Amino acid sequence: MRKGAPTRGFTLVEVMVAIVVVALGLLAALTAFSMASRVTSASRNDTSLSLLAQEKLAEIRLLEREELTKGTTTGDFGPDYREHYWQLTIHEPDELNVVWIDLVIYAPEAGRTREVRLSTAIF
């Protein structure tokens, strides 16, 4: 190499800094994709729980008033939602003849069981 001639290329330090910057960018992108995947999964679970609750409450509202007997019953949502189940509690009519109904839906989520509680009144 001649003295005073312009050098071409990158130094080792410049290459290493570029690699670190690219690695940090890729790490941030992978973290964002992972979080987006988790949020999408949680959203899907929330939507399915909401629809299952609406379905069960619609079944209850179709019952005649005489069929609403005091007590607690449990059941599941069939083969499509094998791990989901519900517990329904029908309370004694109060002094205004209002029947309170409590519905709890149990669903598996990330190694634990999630509970969604709903209440409604039938006049």
**What CATH number is attached to the domain comprising 62?**
3.30.1300
Identify which has the larger pLDDT, 68 or 28. 28
pTM score, two decimals? 0.63
Q: What is the DSSP letter of 5?
A: P
Does 6 fall in a domain?
no
Helix locations, 1-123, DSSP H: 12-62
To the nearest 10°, report the CA torsion of 117, 121, 122, 123: 180
Does 16 fall in a domain?
yes
Query: Parallel, antiparallel, or unpaired for β 112-122 and 71-76?
Result: unpaired
Q: From CA 1, how far away is CA 8, in angstroms rounded? A: 11
pLDDT tens, position by position, 49-108: 888 888 888 888 888 877 888 899 999 888 888 888 899 999 988 888 888 999 999 888
Does 7 fall in a domain?
no
Does 4 fall in a domain?
no
Does 1 fall in a domain?
no
Spatial contact of 122 and 61, defined as CB atoms under 8 Å apart: yes
Does 47 fall in a domain?
yes
Domain total in the chain = 1
Does 99 fall in a domain?
yes
The residue range of the domain holding 16 is 12-122
